[in-house]
């Protein structure tokens, strides 16, 4: 690539890029539209295959044509097809990818963009592939781990609601007609059933308004920051979120710096990989001090957000000049640690949710059976 073309490519990277509009495809009997949604696994497979084809000596455009033939019926195939048109029009690979922000995130595009300035494209793709493999978030694993407990809790609460609003009301008159006093569990159950019958609509409206208010508040900058602050103070969850963000940020920094991007510029891109606003704000503060010449480890340590293990490792890396290597090791360490924390949390949450719902349903069943036993005793006597 000549110096003039490199300069032009650099200018193209600094100008806003239009987002490509892909043709929609219908699915589910033509009722819904399929957009350009591409999973992380599909993107990882595409990156590895493209790297393999380029290493085999096949030029970029023929390599993409081979890949698009394999994915004609998938969203990624349509994305590659648009990319081929952009490449034919003289656009760089990173520029063509930047038009699909839902598929190729900022870190991926910036890593590939280093090839526009003379870096080997195969090396850039390898760094992007390493980032994708390292950046699998433990938060997504946490969501998967909570699916079973959520189903159990939903079914349990649904059964409880049906018992309180359908099964119990016809029996209330019978229970209250007993000469003997009702057991405490039955009185509690009757009170709950009466309350739900009287204020069911009010509760539904109140819950809907509260959920909407929290959702709208969470969309604001201040609300999102306060919610994320609360998350970082929640036991177990805080560890998983923080370690996951550290792993993703370190992986992004490693990929970008290894590809030749300066550390300050790499941080500017990598900050967006963090999911928590508190972590993002701390990283931005550290970047400002990094530009001022204070290094990276000390500013991160003084934010009070990041674990001491991270800052100590970065301090050693800065002293020994092995920042790239240590960032990769840090990403692997915290990803593994976060994954283990998710597995432990999921292993505890599943039986705990089952015990809670079983206790609730058991209490309600006992509250109904106890007065019925008293009725049978009165009849027998």
CATH number of the structural domain spanning residue 326: 1.20.81.30
| Residue 10 pLDDT | 41
Please tell me whether residues 184 and 284 are part of one structural domain: yes
Q: For residue 181, what are the CA distances in angstroms to 163, 310, 341, 363, 364?
A: 22, 63, 50, 18, 18
Please tell me whether residues 308 and 353 are part of one structural domain: yes
Please tell me whether residues 128 and 238 are part of one structural domain: no
- Which residues have C-beta within 8 Å of that of residue 212, sequence separation ≥ 6? none
Cα 321-296-108 angle, rounded to 5 deg? 85
Exposure of 135 in the CB half-sphere (CA atoms within 13 A): 27
| Residue 3 pLDDT | 37
Give the whole-angstrom CA distance, residue 153 versus residue 358: 10
Please tell me whether residues 124 and 221 are part of one structural domain: no
Q: Please give the tally of structural domains in the chain.
A: 2
| Residue 287 pLDDT | 93
Please tell me whether residues 259 and 339 are part of one structural domain: yes
Please tell me whether residues 83 and 176 are part of one structural domain: no
Please tell me whether residues 36 and 122 are part of one structural domain: yes
Instruction: Please give the radius of gyration of the chain, using alpha carbons only, rounded to the nearest integer.
Output: 29
Please tell me whether residues 106 and 247 are part of one structural domain: no
| Residue 24 pLDDT | 56
- Which residues have C-beta within 8 Å of that of residue 167, sequence separation ≥ 6? 368
| Final residue before a domain boundary, out of 101, 134, 167 | 134
Please tell me whether residues 62 and 173 are part of one structural domain: no
Q: Strands, E, within 28-68: which ranges?
A: 32-34
Please tell me whether residues 164 and 306 are part of one structural domain: yes
Domain span including residue 182: 136-381
| Final residue before a domain boundary, out of 134, 166, 199 | 134
Please tell me whether residues 184 and 65 are part of one structural domain: no
Please provide residue 25's backbone torsions phi and psi, each rounded to the nearest 5 degrees: -125, 140
Sole residue written with tokens 């048109």:
85
Those residues of the chain that have pLDDT short of 70 are 1-18, 20-36, 117-119, 135-140, 176-181, 374-381
Give the whole-angstrom CA distance, residue 231 versus residue 238: 6
Give the whole-angstrom CA distance, residue 361 versus residue 185: 12
| Final residue before a domain boundary, out of 97, 117, 134 | 134
Cα 337-331-306 angle, rounded to 5 deg? 75
With beta carbons less than 8 A apart as the criterion, state whether 298 and 308 touch.
no
Q: Please state the length of the chain.
A: 381
């Amino acid at each position: 690539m000549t110096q003039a073309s490199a300069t032009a490519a650099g200018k193209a990277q600094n100008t806003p890029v239009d987002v490509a509009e892909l043709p929609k495809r219908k699915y589910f009997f033509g009722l819904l539209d399929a957009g350009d949604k591409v999973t992380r696994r599909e993107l990882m497979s595409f990156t590895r295959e493209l790297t393999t084809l380029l290493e085999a000596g096949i030029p970029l455009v023929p390599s993409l044509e081979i890949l698009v033939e394999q994915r004609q019926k998938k969203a990624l195939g349509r994305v590659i097809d648009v990319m081929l048109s952009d490449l034919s029009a003289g656009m760089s690979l990173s520029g063509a990818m930047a038009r699909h922000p839902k598929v190729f995130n900022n870190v991926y595009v910036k890593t590939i963009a280093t090839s526009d300035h003379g870096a080997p494209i195969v090396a850039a793709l390898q760094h992007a592939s390493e980032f994708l493999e390292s950046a699998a978030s433990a938060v997504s694993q946490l969501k998967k781990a909570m699916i079973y407990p959520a189903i159990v809790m939903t079914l349990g609460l649904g059964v409880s609601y049906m018992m309180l609003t359908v099964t119990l009301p016809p029996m209330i008159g019978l229970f209250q007609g007993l000469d003997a006093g009702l057991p405490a569990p039955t009185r509690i159950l009757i009170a709950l059933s009466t309350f739900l019958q009287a204020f069911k609509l009010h509760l539904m409206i109140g819950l809907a308004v509260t959920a909407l208010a929290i959702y709208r508040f969470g969309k604001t900058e201040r609300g999102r920051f306060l919610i994320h602050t609360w998350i970082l103070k929640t036991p177990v969850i805080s560890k998983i979120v923080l370690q996951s963000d550290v792993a993703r940020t370190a992986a992004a920094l490693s990929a970008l710096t290894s590809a030749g991007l300066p550390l300050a510029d790499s941080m500017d891109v990598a900050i967006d990989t963090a999911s928590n606003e508190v972590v993002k704000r701390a990283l931005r503060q550290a970047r400002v001090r990094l530009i001022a010449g204070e290094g990276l480890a000390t500013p991160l340590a003084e934010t009070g957000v990041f674990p001491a293990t991270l800052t100590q490792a970065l301090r050693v890396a800065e002293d020994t000049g092995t920042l790239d290597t240590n960032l990769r090791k840090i990403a692997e360490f915290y990803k593994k640690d976060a994954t283990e924390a998710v597995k432990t949390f999921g292993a505890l949450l599943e039986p705990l949710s089952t015990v809670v719902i079983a206790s609730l349903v058991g209490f309600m069943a006992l509250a109904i059976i106890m007065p019925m036993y008293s009725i049978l005793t009165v009849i027998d006597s």
